[in-house]
């Protein structure tokens, strides 16, 4: 048994109770805060619980930062906060954690939505560069957030990416700055985060599964489908035109509509 930790989370009560809760797991360097608008929108039809995965946001810093551990944390949260079973939505790293949960604790997952990720290893050294760049900032002498944005420009040229990364920076010069995520731990665990190992001894997840991808993203390739269907035989595939890897941010309305259509 993997020791679990109590995850920080944001709960949006349902305006029309009745459906199982929706549990949302963010991607690398993200948090529940990134899902605030969508969580409120989903809550029009069902209770929505957006979590901070271990090592992220306000959740405790705990090790290992593995998908087995993240999945165990999610399972414990669903048992404790969601009545034992939930629909589970995970994006990117959170999608791998959600897939691991569905394979290891299928009784906790009614339906599964995976945002723009496949169960395989990725070669993406830029993700580690982001952590190194953030850790390289001298927070003690940082005058303002805008200065941090300038200093990260070389590692992250896109302003939207810098804004996402800097959602981890909290505080002020007067009270002191800090990173909300465990950047050193994530950097050390990056090979495992970019990788994938199918849990030993598991059976395929027989629940309905939606693999929702960005039309402009290359994270899920046609050749990934065979591996996905081997683990999730009831998977269906849907692409959002004009969306990249952060498809929920690029096309929030279309993303919400696709998720709600699948769940109903």
Q: Which residues are catalytic?
A: 92, 245
Q: In whole angstroms, what is the distance from residue 169 CA to residue 179 CA? A: 5
User: Pairing mode, if any, of strands 48-51 and 9-12?
Assistant: antiparallel
Q: Count Cβ atoms within 10 A of the Cβ of residue 125 and give its class: 0-12 exposed, 13-18 middle, 19 or more buried.
A: exposed
Q: What ranges make up the beta strands (E) of 35-175?
A: 48-51, 86-91, 109-115, 169-172
Q: What ranges make up the beta strands (E) of 136-183?
A: 169-172, 176-179
Q: In whole angstroms, what is the distance from residue 232 CA to residue 234 CA? A: 6
What HEC string does 189-212 produce?
Answer: CHHHHHCCCCCCCCCCCCCCEEEE
Is there a contact between 79 and 21 (Cβ–Cβ < 8 Å)?
no
């Amino acid at each position: 048994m993997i020791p679990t930790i109590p995850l920080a989370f944001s709960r949006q009560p349902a305006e029309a109770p009745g459906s199982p809760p929706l549990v949302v797991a963010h991607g690398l360097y993200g948090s529940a805060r990134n899902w605030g608008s969508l969580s409120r929108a989903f809550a029009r039809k069902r209770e929505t619980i957006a979590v901070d995965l271990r090592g992220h946001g306000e959740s405790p810093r705990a090790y290992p930062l593995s998908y087995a551990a993240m999945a165990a944390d999610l399972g414990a949260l669903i048992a404790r906060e969601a009545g034992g079973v939930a629909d589970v939505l995970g994006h990117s790293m959170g999608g791998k954690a959600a897939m691991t949960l569905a394979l290891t604790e299928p009784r906790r997952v009614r339906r599964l939505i995976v945002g723009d990720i496949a169960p395989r290893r990725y070669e993406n050294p830029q993700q580690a560069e982001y952590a190194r760049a953030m850790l390289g900032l001298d927070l003690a002498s940082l005058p303002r957030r805008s200065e941090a944005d300038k200093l990260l420009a070389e590692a992250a040229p896109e302003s939207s990416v810098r804004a996402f990364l800097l959602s981890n920076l909290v505080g002020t010069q007067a009270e002191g700055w800090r990173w909300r995520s465990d950047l050193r731990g994530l950097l050390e665990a990056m090979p495992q985060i970019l990788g994938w190992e199918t849990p030993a001894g598991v059976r395929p997840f027989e629940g309905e599964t939606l693999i929702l991808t960005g039309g402009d993203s290359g994270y899920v390739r046609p050749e990934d489908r065979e591996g996905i269907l081997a683990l999730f035989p009831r998977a269906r595939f849907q692409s959002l035109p004009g969306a990249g890897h952060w498809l929920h941010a690029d096309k929030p309305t279309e993303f919400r509509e696709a998720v709600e259509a699948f769940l109903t």
